[in-house]
Amino acid sequence: MTDMRQVVNKVSPRMIFWAGAVVIIFACFMAYIPAIKGGFVWDDNKYVTKNPLLSAPDGLFRIWFSTDSPSQYFPLVYTTFRAEYQLCGLNPTSYHVVNVAIHCINALLLWVILRRLSIPGAWLASAIFALHPVHVESVAWITERKNTLMLLFSLLSILCWVKFVLDNQAGRKAILLYACSLLFCALSLFSKATACMLPAALVLILWLKNSPITVKRWLQIVPYIAMAIGDGLLVMWWERHHQGTGYVNFGLSVTEKVLIAGKALWFYLWKLVWPVNLTFSYPRWNIDATDVWQYAWPVSFAMVLSAGWLLRKRTGRGIPTAIIFFPAMLFPMLGFFPLYTFIYTFVADHYQYMASIGPIAIAAGIAATVYRKSGEKVKFIIVSAAGVLLLTFGILTYQQCHAYTDVKTLWADTLKKNPDSLLAHGSVGKMLFEEGKYIEAKSHLEQAIKVAPYLKTAMPAKYAIMHYDMAVDLQALGRLDDAVVYYRKSLAIREHFPLAHYQLAVILAEQGNVEQARLHFLRVLEITREKGKNDKLDEAICRELNLLEKKSN
């Protein structure tokens, strides 16, 4: 062991860094081989395969300066997808390789930043981050390019900030570092709105390094805060008016939101410690403010935060900084703001992609500190344990990547781990219907309706569409009477639903119920004309009404 240390001491720090980097990159790509071989999965069609902005001549302009994006405002993400589409078409391998490469760069940047902040165990933290299976969802799912890209520019912004603050730079170099940090912050926000918590990370770094947070420092942080608030307001407006979040009414009180946040924080920590049964869509919890035991989640986490703060003089500022970093980075995803995905689940692995850095840094830092203070035997045990841990994480990541082989495999894996998944049942039902497998589709559509009664008040439009999908499937099976029942249920939930009125009218006309069919056809015209004249639809309805007139005569 002593001879080995003498050999290592003769090697230059640059060679050690590159050797460590090669190990991380090689191990990471090996672990993600199944993902690289995989295809497109859920939402990838909206972001990539069926996104007209990737091929339209004016697509780049519309990505940045219009509301045509098929999801939230992620212009930088769509820009990278457009560039890849121009170069490689719709070959999924290229998109996967880029995602894995960005993830590797993120791990290396994390190593550089932790070393610069004098956090022990920086390489181990970087390796754990690169290989941890909880990050598979962020890396193997092409749509989550927004996550990996957001962290890339967030870390670059942090790195420039660290050099700007700690190196006491002056003149042009200081201005350049500060400007680069601001630029990278903007790019991270253009990748994903959750980068809005980046200013909190910058303040935590100042506190960690005991750098005075003067008025001058606050003024330097103000532009970051302004950008974060501006982007946050834009995304909230976008979600409300273009994504439908404004129509979601979960009816959650402040107390219930706190209970969700408390349980979510412990859920994420547990998945970092014990990353088994990771799934694309977790069960949606039942939150009950009258259940005293549910208050244990937020109270116990508050106790952890308090303990970390009280022990800062004994442990140093590293641990409390990492503890605070974790909930701070998760804050936008904890449920205090409405999220469309909450109709399916309150948690998701990709939510903690950035936040996981805090607990990982604590674990690696403790291991490195114990290593430095221990004898040869204990050091050997620690190194061996670290090696086994990284190997285990690599194997688990490799296995988890298989779930992202294709969309059918993803839903099969999800239903195996979460049999009542609304997202999986609804998606599989629609997929089977499109394949003409109406009987198989029926069972999944029925189950989706069965597990989601809360949507009747939370999101009536979504619940009405689920009944409509069921009716369409029954209609395809020739079970017209049952289809009528589900069309009527759909309209009872959402009376302003032209498609349901139209399909119901078609069946009623076929069954000879001319008067009822006429009423529903006329209702379609009323609804659509409220939104604006549609000549083609008007002509189609008029033809149907003329046919009804002939039947009645």
pLDDT in tens, 462-487: 899 999 999 999 999 989 999 999 99
pLDDT of 243 reads 62
pLDDT of 456 reads 83
Whether 1 has a pLDDT exceeding 60, the answer reads no
Q: How sure is the predictor about 169, in pLDDT bands with cuts at 50, 70 and 90?
A: low
- Rounded to whole angstroms, how far apart are CA atoms 439 and 428? 12
Average pLDDT of span 104-126 = 95
Residue 494's SS3 state is: coil
Q: Which residue has the higher pLDDT, 551 or 25?
A: 25
Residue whose C-alpha is closest to residue 463's, from 240, 247, 225, 188: 247
Residue whose C-alpha is closest to residue 463's, from 500, 438, 436: 500
pLDDT of 533 reads 58
Task: Indicate where the chain has its CATH 1.25.40.10 domain(s).
Answer: 408-552
pTM as predicted? 0.90
Give the domain 408-552 fold. 1.25.40
Residues sharing a CB contact under 8 Å with residue 369, sequence separation 6 or more, in sequence order: 120, 121
Whether 389 has a pLDDT exceeding 60, the answer reads yes
> DSSP per residue over 297-355, as a string?
HHHHHHHHHHHHHHTHHHH-SHHHHHHHHHHHHHGGGSSSS--GGGGT-S--GGGGTTT
- Rounded to whole angstroms, how far apart are CA atoms 45 and 410? 15
Q: What is the pLDDT of residues 411-433, one digit of tens each?
A: 999 999 999 999 999 999 999 99
Which amino acid is located at 421 in the chain?
S
pLDDT of 213 reads 85
Whether 4 has a pLDDT exceeding 60, the answer reads no
pLDDT of 27 reads 96
Any idea which of 30-34, 151-155, 516-520, 527-531 has the lowest mean pLDDT? 527-531
pLDDT of 249 reads 66
Q: What is the pLDDT of residues 345-356, one digit of tens each?
A: 999 999 999 999
